[in-house]
Structure formats: structure tokens, C-alpha cells
Structure 1
Amino acid sequence: MTWITRQRFEIGGLMAIQAGSGPSVLLLHGVGLRAEAWGAQLDGLSHQAHLTAPDLPGHGDSPPLCANAGLSGYSDAAMAVLARLRAPTVVVGHSMGAMIALDLAVTAPERVCGVVAMNAVFERSAEAARAVQARAAELNGSTPADPSTTLRRWFGDATSAERDACRAWLLAMNPIAYKMAYTAFAQSQKPDRADLANLGCPALFITGSLEPNSTPAMTRAMANLAPKGRAQIVEGAAHMMPMTHAHDVTAALSQFLDEVPG
């Protein structure tokens, strides 16, 4: 599909795309992206749900955070949007957005009736933690980071419209905002085992079979810890599967929405 810029509205202090009608769904993107990363799901699920996809702080058209608040600052911003939506809401997150989605499900169970954690990191190895924190430390916050390495991790060497869209979004980000978001992602220890054990709502953990960082093993481990969790692995997909494997992801979300009470 064409990853075109869509009309936005201010909701809870963030700029967001809304589409469809029905049960409430909140879509949270990852570091360096923007609400249009959910374009295929905004189109494919609009007959089934009322979808809200905000630009996280410092991304797209949303204002940045005032200080380095860590993951909690991004969770607080997402909570302000969630508070404006009709409860109960299914919260769906990708990458750092998955960390935030799980945090909202734990801290606001009265508002969240289901959660989907897509390409979520869980209990990084010491080597992986050093690597991601080193990448965060290399960002100078003054010039746009070269997206080549990031795009290679996400897409390999293949060219595609999805790769081109992500490249444009990464280059358009304010360097300070990108460093803040990537540092929050790199340093966060969320979700932890207690968070997952305390999830009271249905939870879907989904990743790609070719995902080297948010691995299938991590996804299955999280699902096993959540009382109402289940895991799903998308064959042939890697990190950017909401875009590259949009049909599979949209079908998985549609099925989950049918399963969630309320």
C-alpha cells in the first residue's frame, strides 16, 4: 500500500489518526515511526472497531516530552489519550509501543479489556542490552542519525515501499526526540515478570519467525507468564511485520478483537 500522510486530530495532548466505528482500539507505534505505520490496520479493521493511532511524543506531529522521562513519560502520554477514549479499549503496541501497551494494561485495568504486544522485547540478554544501549549512546541529539543500519535490521537488504516510508519517517524526526525515545526503549526493563503475571485481561503476544531481537522465544515466554496470554508467530516476518506482513497481522488482530469480552 501507499504510506500516505493522513489527517490528524488532537486527543489527550497528542495528534492522532482515527478511523472506523465499533469497540475502541488504541494503536501505539515504535521508535522513529508515526501513526501511518498502522495504515494497513487502520484500513483493514475500520469495519470492526473504532481505531485511534496517535503519534507518540516527539514523533509525527505530536510535541516532544519536556525532559528525559524514560518509558514512563511515553506511557503517561499514551494514558492521557486512553483516558479520552470510550472504555473498555483494546490496546495494541508494536516494539516500544508494546512496552507501553503492556504498562497501560497493568496500570489501568479498568480501561483496558485486552492487550496485544507485537515484536516486544523481554528479558534481553546482557549482550543484547549492551548493544542496544550502545546504539542509544551513539546518538548525538543534534543531527539526524543515519537510518541505514536500522533499516537493515528491520528489512534486510530488500527495497520496498515500506522501507522507503520508514526511512523518510526516521530522517524527519527531531534528533533530540529520537535520542530520547530510543534511550527510553534501550534502558527500559519492561515488561517484567510481575507485570505479566498481573495482567488480568486477554493478551496476545505476536512476533515474526525471522525477528532477531524481539524473538519468538521471548514472545512465548511472555505468553506463558500472562494468565490469559497466548503467543502467535508470523512465518517469514521480522520486525516491521505490521507493514510487511499486513494481511497476517490484521487477521490476527481481527480474530483477537472477536475473542475479547466487551
Structure 2
Amino acid sequence: MTSRTLPLSTKRVAHYLEQGSGEPLVLIHGVGMQAHAWYPQIDELSRDFRVIAVDMPGHGQSDALDSGAGLQQFVAWAIAFIEALNAGPVNLAGHSMGSLIAAGVAVTRPDLVKRVAVLNGVYRRSTEAREAVLQRAAELRGGTIDVETPLKRWFNAEEAQQIAAHKVESWLKSVDLAGYATAYTAFAKGDEVYADGWHSIACPALVLTGSDDPNSTPEMAQQMAAAAQNGRAVVIEDERHMVNLTAPEAVNRALRDWLQTETGVECVEPQPETMKSEV
């Protein structure tokens, strides 16, 4: 795995991890994480693809955006990154906040996206859910970071899940608080920014979540897949928000199926597919 940096402007540099060769697959993580959060996908998919996992602004080694940046600015950043790669249209996958960015790029710059995958994404939150994430964003902006609560929400007590939880805990504790707060605020306010644009997404769109994710629900996944022109919803049973870490075999299998989907092909009305994670 190679660590690289890419200048996006005179002010900002993006850091990313690269492994493998072939068709480019760009991965964007969620808030509080870093490019290494895709390690099960990097290891598996780099056998056949050029996998590029990028640190989101203000995370890992990527420079932060301005403190008032909203989702549109994160999408503009991702567009600049993909253009700077100079690799042509890419397969683009995002997790959580990264999925909002990936969908925003697919809506606004479809020429840059060959296929799009949304993992544990949010879509038109309820009023109650929106208020909860806005409250967490306000706490972060006030300088308070709560690591234990999301860990309890994202992982159960099984040994394999706790191994992943320890990695996530280390990333949350090392993230720059200001960068985290900016991204989380954009995430909290971003669930409807590109929601009306899903109908314009014509490339193959995978929308995946865990059956037990209370914030990125199976219902949201089905709604996004149904809105896209060539969408497919996958729900992995008995999994939560960090499904790419806790059920990597099932997620990698779904991603491989998506990466083999022909582009430019009309699809029938999508039906949600349920998958079991391997133990």
C-alpha cells in the first residue's frame, strides 16, 4: 500500500492510500475516520482494481476545508480530487458522510463517475433523527467529543466486532477536532442536499446498509435505490453502521458484483436484496 499526496490548490493537499492496478476505485470514508478505515476493501479489491482510499478534508493527513464548509464544498473537493487523479471516470464508493459526498458527485458531475456505491448512507432523515445529529454537531463545535456513545451504537460485544471497534476508537481519538466538527456539521445538514437529484443518477448505483443500522436504515437504502435509474439495494442482516469492517466478506462480495455491472444498461424496478454476513 502506497501513501501519496495530491495538491488540489495552492492551499490544500489531499492524502490518499493506493494499492493495485486496473480500473480506478475511489473510496471516501465517514466522519471521524480515515482512509485506513477501508482496509478490508483495499486488501481484497486491489487484486483486480486500482484502489484509491482518500482522507476526507480535516481527517488523516488531508488539509481541512474552511470551518463553515457545507456538503456542497465537500463535494467540490471530491470533484477536484478526482479531476487531479486524471484517471478518467472512476468507480466511486462512500461510507456514511462519504456516501453523501459520492452521491453528490454522481448527481453534479456524472461524467466523472462510472459507477457509484453508497454504504450506510442517509436520505431524508426524520425530524427526530435530524435533531439528534444536529445536537451532536453542536457538541463537537463546542469542543466536546464523545467516543463511547458511537462505539456502543456501531458495534456489539462479539470479539470480531470489538477488534474493529478498537481500530475505530483509535481513529476517533486521533482525529482533528475542528476538522471533525466541520465534517459532522455538513453531514448533519446534508441528507436532503442532493436527495432530489437521485433520479438523475443513471450509472449503476449500489446502496448498501445493515439491517440493524438505526440511522442509515434499510428503508432509506431502498428509497435511494428506487430513485436511481439503475439502482440496487443490499441489506446485510444483523449488521450495524460500520458494516464494511464488521461484515467485510459480504460487503466485498456486493462491491465486486457492483463493479462487474455493465454501464449504460437500463434496469428493472429494484428489489432489496438481503445478505447474511459470514462468521
TM-score (norm 2): 0.87
Q: Residues 9-158 of structure 1 correspond to what in structure 2 (within 5 A)?
A: 9-11=4-6, 12=8, 13-85=13-85, 86-142=87-143, 145-158=145-158
Q: Is the 8 A contact 1:241 1:249 kept in 2?
A: yes
In the alignment, which residue of structure 2 is the partner of 1:187?
A: 189
The one of 202, 205, 225 equivalent to 1:223 is: 225
Q: In 2, Cα distance between the equivalents of 1:90 and 1:260?
A: 12
SS in 2 for 1:84: helix
- For residues 220-260 of structure 1, the C-alpha deviation after alignment (integer angstroms, 9 at most, x for no partner) is 01111111111011112110011111111111111111114
SS in 2 for 1:16: strand
Q: Is the 8 A contact 1:141 1:175 kept in 2?
A: no
Q: In 1, Cα distance between the equivalents of 2:147 and 2:191?
A: 25
Q: In 2, Cα distance between the equivalents of 1:191 and 1:38?
A: 25
Residue ranges of structure 1 left out of the alignment (5+ in a row): 1-5
Q: Is the 8 A contact 2:71 2:193 kept in 1?
A: no
Displacement of 1:157 in angstroms is 4.5
Larger RCO (CA within 8 A; separation ≥ 6): 1
Displacement of 1:189 in angstroms is 3.1
- For residues 193-217 of structure 1, the C-alpha deviation after alignment (integer angstroms, 9 at most, x for no partner) is 4211111211111101111110001
Q: Is the 8 A contact 2:5 2:15 kept in 1?
A: yes
In the alignment, which residue of structure 2 is the partner of 1:242?
A: 244
- For residues 40-88 of structure 1, the C-alpha deviation after alignment (integer angstroms, 9 at most, x for no partner) is 1111001221111110011011111123111122212211111133112
Q: Residues 204-223 of structure 1 correspond to what in structure 2 (within 5 A)?
A: 204-223=206-225
Q: Percent identity?
A: 39
Count of equivalent residues? 256
Q: Is the 8 A contact 1:14 1:77 kept in 2?
A: no
SS in 1 for 2:233: strand
Q: Is the 8 A contact 1:141 1:176 kept in 2?
A: no
In the alignment, which residue of structure 1 is the partner of 2:269?
A: none
- For residues 132-164 of structure 1, the C-alpha deviation after alignment (integer angstroms, 9 at most, x for no partner) is 111111224546x13000111111445622101
Q: In 1, Cα distance between the equivalents of 2:122 and 2:186?
A: 13
Q: Is the 8 A contact 1:25 1:49 kept in 2?
A: yes
Q: Is the 8 A contact 1:193 1:225 kept in 2?
A: no
Q: In 1, Cα distance between the equivalents of 2:2 and 2:47?
A: 19
Task: Report the CA distance shift for 1:190/1:9 in structure 2 as closer, same or farther (over 3 A).
Answer: farther
In the alignment, which residue of structure 2 is the partner of 1:3?
A: none
SS in 2 for 1:139: helix
Q: In 2, Cα distance between the equivalents of 1:191 and 1:247?
A: 32
Stretch moving more, 132-141 or 170-179: 132-141
The one of 184, 195, 200 equivalent to 2:202 is: 200
Displacement of 1:130 in angstroms is 0.7
SS in 1 for 2:232: strand
Q: In 2, Cα distance between the equivalents of 1:62 and 1:69?
A: 15
Q: In 2, Cα distance between the equivalents of 1:175 and 1:64?
A: 11
Structural RMSD (CA): 1.6
Q: In 2, Cα distance between the equivalents of 1:8 and 1:190?
A: 34
Q: Is the 8 A contact 1:26 1:90 kept in 2?
A: yes
Q: In 2, Cα distance between the equivalents of 1:146 and 1:204?
A: 31
SS in 2 for 1:185: helix
Q: In 2, Cα distance between the equivalents of 1:169 and 1:209?
A: 25
